[in-house]
Structure 1
């Protein structure tokens, strides 16, 4: 296990809790972009796997998430979060300017990563999307209610490994309450912005990973979004029986092997 170096970053809205997993032999920089309600403390094994692929790994808890500041699970402007990701990239490249950057975005973090690629296409060399929220997401239908129902994430939808759901449910840094209206409205705006902005460049390698048993982010809903932004460098893998958190699934070794093969082809460093 590679112990992370913890540091603080001045975000657009709040101070952000950031982590770096150093690698003196790094050939590329992996930037983790986590999902809704969670935090990077759940990604130690992901960082270890990426380091084994030759990466230095970095990331920050989004505003309102994990150890970062702000009201819990509240994001009022995703463009500001994209700017926060760019601040992480900038800080990480200080002293390592030649490392190619690969965004690794999960779920809501996948949408943030795609938006980053639209805004900063010259900053990244490749992108990995794990069950990204793109296109349409039925959770946004909650905006039709005058009062948002208390429908938190069901831990059983995360993985076939029951210990993953149990750890998620017991994690005090995970948000277990209802969705915030402002967050849903901002995410709805983000998805519309992505769909109507420029597609990803044909020279950007992108790997989309999804489980066909994902009940939290349906693969068909995501495809409605990927079809609008995909370029010629777009690849996809579907895992039979896998649920939402592919990095925590029982076939995680297969998932990491696919990422390793992809980055070996995509990253020139």
Structure 2
């Protein structure tokens, strides 16, 4: 098991738990931003591989998620989460001054990472978005139109073609298995609009990863947002048959190889 370090930061709304996968002499920093209802520990497989390619890896649990403080899965303002992620970036840079910073956001984490890039893009070397909640995502509006949010948890089978991924997700006590909450849905709607109006990220290199069988965050809706955010300059890798979590898919080695091929020309040797 690779060595990890745990940190606790004072976040905007309570303690934020941060996991670090260290590197003795890194050439870049990787900041992983997880999705809705989950936690940074679900990225241990990806995070443990990145130090082998020269990264020191940091990953927070967002407020209301995992081991961080707050009512479960309640996010009233995603701007606060972006501010917390920026505090994690500062923690990483304090330990390793002057290194390039790569931001990787999945699903809801893609929305957070997109907004981070709009606010702090000058601090980034590259942005990687995986199945990002960005652009046209209809689920929050549909649920908010109901008098009561139905108790319909995420189907584990929608995550990956690998049944072990779904089984681990279903058994994970740090994963939220209940209904979405109205304040969080309202915050999604506001932040989708904020990012849509927030302008593109200019010349910042952006890689978009998506499974073409993603039933949780459909590919066409994300395309609208990615093209707007990147100014049409994004590199894209669409994986046939893959579901929502491309880093946990049956072709995960191919996905990682695509990420490294994208990053290598941007990073010091």
In structure 2, what is the Cα distance between the partners aligned to 1:59 and 1:65?
A: 12
Moved more, 49-58 or 64-73: 49-58
Q: TM-score, normalised by structure 2?
A: 0.97
1:157 aligns with 2:123: no
Moved more, 81-90 or 51-60: 51-60
Q: TM-score, normalised by structure 1?
A: 0.97
Tell me by how many angstroms 1:2 deviates. Answer: 2.0
> What's the counterpart of residue 136 of structure 2?
136
CA distance 1:238–1:116, change in 2 (3 Å): same
> What's the counterpart of residue 227 of structure 1?
227
Give the conservation status (yes or no) of the 8 Å contact 1:204–1:231: no
Within 5 Å, give how 1:49-64 maps onto structure 2: 49-64=49-64
Give the conservation status (yes or no) of the 8 Å contact 1:204–1:233: no
Tell me by how many angstroms 1:97 deviates. Answer: 1.2
> What's the counterpart of residue 171 of structure 1?
172
> What's the counterpart of residue 24 of structure 1?
24
Tell me by how many angstroms 1:268 deviates. Answer: 3.7
> What's the counterpart of residue 4 of structure 1?
4
Within 5 Å, give how 1:56-75 maps onto structure 2: 56-75=56-75
Aligned residue for 1:94, secondary structure, equals: helix
In structure 2, what is the Cα distance between the partners aligned to 1:155 and 1:78?
A: 25
In structure 2, what is the Cα distance between the partners aligned to 1:219 and 1:182?
A: 25
In structure 1, what is the Cα distance between the partners aligned to 2:238 and 2:182?
A: 32
Tell me by how many angstroms 1:138 deviates. Answer: 2.4
Q: Which runs of 4+ in 1 moved over 6 A?
A: none
Q: How many residues align?
A: 268
Tell me by how many angstroms 1:148 deviates. Answer: 0.9
Give the conservation status (yes or no) of the 8 Å contact 1:36–1:107: yes
In structure 1, what is the Cα distance between the partners aligned to 2:266 and 2:36?
A: 27
> What's the counterpart of residue 240 of structure 1?
240
In structure 1, what is the Cα distance between the partners aligned to 2:119 and 2:249?
A: 31
Moved more, 230-239 or 244-253: 230-239
CA offsets per residue over residues 59-105 of structure 1, 9 Å max, x none?
Answer: 11000000001000100010000000000000111031111000010
In structure 2, what is the Cα distance between the partners aligned to 1:228 and 1:189?
A: 17
Give the conservation status (yes or no) of the 8 Å contact 1:132–1:217: yes
> What's the counterpart of residue 41 of structure 1?
41
In structure 2, what is the Cα distance between the partners aligned to 1:209 and 1:267?
A: 20
